[in-house]
Amino acid sequence: MKFAFVFSGQGAQAVGMGKDIAGANESASAIFKKADEVLGWPVGGLCFDGPEDKLTQSKFCQPSIFTVSCACLEAFKAAYPDVKPVAVAGLSLGELAALCCAGVFSFEDGLRLVARRGELMDQACSETKGAMASVLGADAGLVSKACSESDVDMANLNCPGQIVISGEQTKVAAAIEKLKALGVRKIIPLKVAGAYHSRLMAGAAAKFAEVLAGTKFGAPKIPVAQNVVGGMVSSVEDIRANLAKQVSGSVLWEGCVRSLCSAGADAIVEFGPGNVLTGLVKRINPGIKTFNVNTAKNLEDFKSFSVN
């Protein structure tokens, strides 16, 4: 079996995440301790005990999810040192954990990047009035047309039949009405602080590009699929540029998953809280095997999964 590793994005957070695996695994516990030292606040305490309202703020949520994902990965590597991925990817925020896994930057540098990314996105949210909505069961061309006519953006192309739109509140509302008039039956407004992956994040993207420029990057040791291109990227300069563009650009997750499959993966392992990505993977490629690593139990259960 050939594995690809994927990493959770914002929205997967939950109070208690990482607590079980950190309590049972020294490698995972060490990551949380390192995160506390790097950021100077109790990352593990927030992940394990909340409060929930603080955990949902991007400036706290993003470094928390990044830490949990990396802790799960380190626990996995300690338990299964011979299991190497053929490629990696992550959804939005998760892309930074994927790049860390690929050796592009250290955990410490990645954590500092993620923390600043969250701060900048929170700032952009406070300066704009944005909204997002999930459009289900609609043709991508139809959604693109409605977005263009309403002056909003397609933020996420997650899987066939699931597209997220993003932009100014009034314009997103207009796009929703336009889509309904075109026969789209299921549109779900999302509970978010602002318009992520839209032009309203352009200021945050520009500032994040400056932060990225001051961070040491190395060539990926594992092939990495990036969100804004929906495919593999190997150039350090391109990886850096794409990370900045991703803040205000579309997340082409379906393309990333298809790239992982083209790289030879017949099983995908998701690291981090929740199981959103494995659910999307199944809708993109129903025949692929999936597994989640976020507790001590499923870390143990991987033994039987990997031999089947």
CB 276 within 8 A of CB 254: no
Q: What angle do CA 104, 77, 223 make, to 5 degrees?
A: 35
Name the CATH superfamily, with its identifier, for domain 3-126+199-307.
Malonyl-Coenzyme A Acyl Carrier Protein, domain 2 (3.40.366.10)
Annotation marks residue 306 as catalytic: no
Given the residues 92, 150, 198, 259, select the one marked as catalytic: 92
Inter-residue contact 115 to 160 (CB < 8 Å): no
CATH superfamily membership of 129-189 = Malonyl-CoA ACP transacylase, ACP-binding (3.30.70.250)
Question: Which one of the listed residues 58, 69, 197, 248 is annotated catalytic?
Answer: 197
Instruction: Give the 3-state secondary structure of 66-105.
Output: HHHHHHHHHHHHHHCCCCCEEEEEECCCHHHHHHHHCCCC
Catalytic site includes residue 58: no
Write the CB contacts of 200 (distance below 8 Å, at least 6 apart in sequence). Answer: 124, 128, 130, 166, 167, 168, 194, 248
Q: How confident is the model at residue 191 (pLDDT cuts 50, 70, 90)?
A: confident
Tell me the three state secondary structure of residue 157.
strand
Task: Quick: pLDDT tens for 146-190.
Answer: 999 999 999 999 999 999 999 999 999 999 999 999 999 999 999
Distance of alpha carbon 159 from alpha carbon 242, whole angstroms? 21
Portions of the chain given CATH number 3.30.70.250: 129-189
Q: Distance (Å, rounded) from C-alpha 236 to C-alpha 146?
A: 35
Q: What is the pTM of this model?
A: 0.96
